[in-house]
Amino acid sequence: MIKLHNTKTRRKETFVPIDAENVRMYVCGPTVYDRAHLGNARPVVVFDTLFRLLRHVYGEDHVTYVRNFTDVDDKINAKAAETGRDIRDITDETIKWYREDMDALGALPPSFEPRATEYIAPMVAMIQTLIDKGNAYVEEVGSQHNQPPERYVIFDPKTDSRHVFFAVESFKKYGELSGRTLSDMISGERSEKATNKRNPMDFVLWKPSSGKQPGWESPWGYGRPGWHIECSAMALDLLGESFDIHGGGLDLQFPHHENEIAQSACAVPHGDFARVWMHNEMLQVEGKKMSKSLGNFFTVHDLLEQEIPGEVIRFVLLSTHYRSPMDWTEKKVREAEATLRKWYQLAEMALDNAQPYSAVVAALSDDLNTSKAIAEMHQLAIAEDMSTLRASLGLMGFLESGIPEWAIQHEEEGSGYHIIYPQAISTEVGNTLVEVAKIIEREYILAKQSKDFAKIDIFKEFAGSKNISIGMSPLGIKLEFTKALNADDLRAMVIAAEALK
């Protein structure tokens, strides 16, 4: 049983799909004018994990996931004007980058990735429906404000062009998603503050285009859609009048998602649009808001170029519950890499024939509690339940391409000894470490017989100071080094082992 926190009702609810044979989810995607930054990656990883959970519960063929590309926007227009490049070249390149970066994070491709420019006709049809129903109006240049919406305005679309606005006051439930009152709200426009709105809260459905701005013919003249209408049109076309889950970052709750609900509910009043709304919290870097002015702004590509593996980025993003603010720190990166390296080495020895751990599935089913799921996988690693750990890693979006190269460490094995070292080992060093392992094994046996582990505990404390963990593996004694020993440290370890005798 899956439970999800519904932003609209402000409570955790048992998830009951409209149709268990076709569970449907829509997540707002990127505006494609530049590289995706780390904050853009968080909703991708969060909702990819939910996608995986839904597929695990309902079957891979019974879940439809839509994530759009906004490829018509004033930011894209500005980029084209700044660079002199064609708009389509910019959006094609940016989409390619985005897919490569999200693939590096282990995100599955959605079922559909529609581009806004492919859905202009459905947007125009929805806008016309809203005008016909009295929920939208065409601006009248020079008209007085605060007049009721009129369904038709006489003008020649061949020689003239007009904005079309949604009349917020025509939808009585406006503000329910965000919990805002009308007096608290601002216009939902993203840019180009129009002057001919009848109410300052009304938002743009269609705007005129001129010069090199992209545009399409419409009943209101040559122009382009507003930001909000695209998601409503694409969701209606690909998921139907009612679907299960709509997700995105908390920054989209208002005005974007509030406006989606208003225009969709008015255009298709007999549908539910989205039943469950989910929003992930925002991201910080070392306790501060990510910004270029603070020098802590970076893209996913930047991190990958710094040789931070995509799986490590994913782990850090999932280590905090999606509804809590996420703080990206270097310490978390180091800890994530060390944890994954250990887990991958255990998984490498496992058969790929198990099911994910029930406690991991239960944690994810409890409002996508990824931090609890990670804690449960730590227990699997301690117990060295390798096959179940491997399956659980797969459910969480790791091991998409098998054990990654960065996690494979060089190993030297003696008879019953498992030594994991972060680089290739010379024969001399390998033999020395095997001799140390032999001493430790003998002393472990004696300590078990006498029930006196004092000397072993002292040695383990010394080893910990040198970044070495000691334990038992299926092969016997396991020595795991997180960093290479220098000559002095190696000699000190031999001396400490000899002192055990």
The β-bridge relationship of strands 164-166 and 288-289 is unpaired
Would you say 235 and 26 are in contact if contact means Cβ atoms under 8 Å apart? Answer: yes
pLDDT one digit per residue (tens) for the chain, 501 residues? 999 999 999 999 999 999 999 999 999 999 999 999 999 999 999 999 999 999 999 999 999 999 999 999 999 999 999 999 999 999 999 999 999 999 999 999 999 999 999 999 999 999 999 999 999 999 876 444 445 555 555 566 666 789 999 999 999 999 999 998 766 665 444 444 556 788 889 999 999 998 789 999 999 999 999 999 999 999 999 999 999 999 999 999 999 999 999 999 999 999 999 999 999 999 999 999 888 888 889 999 999 999 999 999 999 999 999 999 999 999 999 999 989 988 998 888 787 889 999 999 999 999 999 999 999 999 998 888 999 999 999 999 998 888 888 887 554 444 456 778 887 778 788 888 888 888 887 887 777 777 788 888 888 888 889 888 887 654 567 788 888 888 888 889 889 888 887
Would you say 239 and 171 are in contact if contact means Cβ atoms under 8 Å apart? Answer: no
DSSP letters of 339-379?
HHHHHHHHHHTS-S--PPPHHHHHHHHBT--HHHHHHHHHH
User: How wide is the angle at C-alpha 405 spanned by C-alphas 403 and 406, nearest 5°?
Assistant: 110
What radius of gyration do the chain's Cα atoms show?
Answer: 29
Would you say 249 and 294 are in contact if contact means Cβ atoms under 8 Å apart? Answer: no
Would you say 209 and 222 are in contact if contact means Cβ atoms under 8 Å apart? Answer: yes
Token pair of 371 as six digits: 């931090």
Which CA distances in Å does 211 have to 5, 214, 351?
46, 8, 61
Would you say 435 and 477 are in contact if contact means Cβ atoms under 8 Å apart? Answer: no
164 has which bridge partners?
A: 138, 206
Q: Closest Cα partner for 343 from 366, 311, 371, 368?
A: 311
- What is the distance between the alpha carbons of residues 383 and 79, in angstroms, rounded to a whole number? 53
Domain ranges for the chain: 3-280, 285-406, 409-498
CATH topology of domain 3-280: Rossmann fold (3.40.50)
**ω before 255 within 30° of 0 (cis)?**
yes
What is the residue whose two structure tokens read 């970076």? 298
- What is the distance between the alpha carbons of residues 462 and 493, in angstroms, rounded to a whole number? 8
